[in-house]
Structure 1
Amino acid sequence: MTVKYILSVLVENKPGVLSRVTGLISRRGFNIDSLTVAPTEDVTMSRMTIIVEADEVGYEQITKQLHKLVSVYKISDLTFEDAIERELVLFKVIATPDRRHEIIEIANIFRANIVDVGKNSLTVEATGTQSKLDAMEDLFRSYGIRQLTRTGKIAMSRGARDS
């Protein structure tokens, strides 16, 4: 059975690291469903959030090989943890003047922001879980989506709760 694994990988913030990590995964025949990379609070490190679909054997192969890379410091598997997951999406929705208020109302319900207004379109920015963003996309499709872009998932383990 395959699972979509969520890996948070702490790596050196140096040129070529992204290429080595993605090359390692693709050479083993796995497709990366989502990939985000950004510097951390330590400017010498970056955090990669990688979503990859694999069976248990494939997952073990990927993580063991990643641990062998000199530039990889830590791998956290957030798949089955109580983690915070978010994604960002921009929707450019066809918005004729007579239907514009409907699109704004949908954006408000989902706590999204209108970030651009065109003559016949609205650009909506939203963050949230994949299911929330998928639901917004389904609603906006009835108006017509001119353009859509998603960042891919980012994730972080939750902190310990205070007693």
Structure 2
Amino acid sequence: MTADGGLISNPDNKASNGVVHVVDQVLYPLPFDTIANEVGMVDELYELSKVIEKAGFGKILSDDGPLTFFAPTDDAFQKLPSATLQNLLKNVTALEDVLSYHVVSGVYYKAGISNGEELRTLQTGTLECHVNRTSGSEPQVKINNAKIVGFAVPALNGAVHMIDTVLFPPK
């Protein structure tokens, strides 16, 4: 069980005025904006913001949700061969397919993802989750071959996880 992405390590502790659940991280107030706008405020997602704008994908990331967006970082885009990125930028349909493959319905946080779990994407494909949990440390989570890096970014309509690799739907 999680609360806003934090693993509930000790639930249901009775107190005189209610119940206390111990979580493994600091919880922050509700986010102020949608996934589309939250992505635009993260420095490491500058290239992604440009790609989203080029594809007109912001509307999907502003929908009610709930959604989880596995967002490739600038470093992830740098790993692509330049010809691949240039071809994507010339083909909006292919670009939309790639971006849709990074979005799943529902809100998922690292602490609540199970090893081997499959998440259905908006692109009608699936993403396979690989989780390595070691005692006392945060789980290492990969989505297909992309490692989740940094902290989750909560949004009004879901959550954003930065990943170190651009994912491509199966052909």
**TM-score, reference length from structure 1:** 0.27
User: Which structure's CA Rg is the greater one?
Assistant: 1
The structure with the greater share of residues assigned to strand is: 1
TM-score (norm 2): 0.26
